[in-house]
Amino acid sequence: MATEAGRAIQTPQAPQAVLGGLADDLATTCLALARRFWTGATMWCTAPAWPQHAHHVAVEFVHPVIMGKRALPAVAVTDPDPVSALRTLARQGDILVAVANADDRQVMAAMRRGRAWGLETVWIGAGPRPDAGAADHVLWLADEDPGRAPHVGSFVLIYHLLWELVHVCFEHPGLLRADDSCTDEVCVTCSDEGHLGEVVAIGRSAEATVRTATGPALIDTTLVAPVALGDLVLIHAGTAIELVEGAQT
């Protein structure tokens, strides 16, 4: 321990050396978050292993350090079961920010479910990265020791930058308007793309109502039956084609 502790007091790892591509990730994340805030989003913050980080993110946005900056709705979720809490609290179009290691099972589940709930998801962490696509935005300090990163101010820097850059985006209202012109060459409905839904009601003859990013939908569950309330299913063309995650996980 003496060796490790002795090393720790040396000059801290200079963030510019580790920011690298993370600066570009921060830029796109902040523009996306500013667009969500613009349309009335609430930002939900969770950090199951280090609740103080969730509180710090929330207070940053609610009570800005710079006078005159807009107070934005951000809330720390420190419930022992953040997935259940978020299911009830978060609304379509909201934001979910997590500060957690990649192996945090509650955050993994919240991020997956966030897809079905229509949330823009941001995952801040260090060390081994989450699986590709685990969140909409992964802000990762891959070169930092995940045991050390939560204590040395690395995450604090990341969410400070998140706040600072979101407010820069507000100075560009022309870029914040929702882009409602469909520029995709293939329509989602007609493509092979699947989307996630969470079962909220079970009907007769293998039908279920699911919560999806675009609102509730009635789907056919013949292929994955029986489904239970809370099941997360992959949906294609109005049919559940795979059970992604059971209700109890």
Partner 1 sequence: MSTTAHNGHSKGDAPTRGGTVGTPPGTRMPSGSDFLYPFIEADEDDAGPLLIDLAASARGKATDSGRLQAATIEAHRPALGALARAMADRFTAGGQLFAFGNGGSATDAASLAALFTHPPGPARPLPARSLVADEAVVTALGNDVGFELVFSRQVIAHARSGDMAVGLSTSGNSNNVIRAFGEAHRRGLLTVGLAGYEGGQMAACEDLDHCLVVRSDSVHRIQESQAALAFALWSEVQTALSADRAGAHQ
Residues 6+ apart with CB under 8 A from 246: 228, 230, 231, 232
Residue 135 CA neighbour count, 13 Å, CB half = 27
Q: Nearer to partner 1 by C-beta: 129 or 148? A: 148
Q: How far is the CB of 226 from partner 1 (least distance, A)?
A: 40
Cα distance between residue 165 and residue 121, in whole Å: 17
Q: How far is the CB of 180 from partner 1 (least distance, A)?
A: 13
Q: How far is the CB of 78 from partner 1 (least distance, A)?
A: 11
Axis-axis angle for helices 22-38, 154-169 (nearest 10): 50
Residues 6+ apart with CB under 8 A from 9: none
Q: Nearer to partner 1 by C-beta: 153 or 216? A: 153
Residues 6+ apart with CB under 8 A from 201: 208, 209, 229
Q: Nearer to partner 1 by C-beta: 169 or 240? A: 169
Chain residues that interact with partner 1, rule: CB under 8 A: 1-2, 4-6, 8-9, 11-17, 19, 22-24, 26-28, 30-31, 37-41, 50-53, 55-56, 59-60, 63-73, 145, 147-148, 150-153, 156-157, 160-161, 164-165, 168-175
Q: How far is the CB of 37 from partner 1 (least distance, A)?
A: 8
Which residues, listed in sequence order, are joined to residue 219 by a DSSP beta bridge? 208
Q: How far is the CB of 149 from partner 1 (least distance, A)?
A: 9
Q: Nearer to partner 1 by C-beta: 107 or 224? A: 107
Q: Nearer to partner 1 by C-beta: 19 or 202? A: 19
Coil/strand/helix, residue 206 = coil
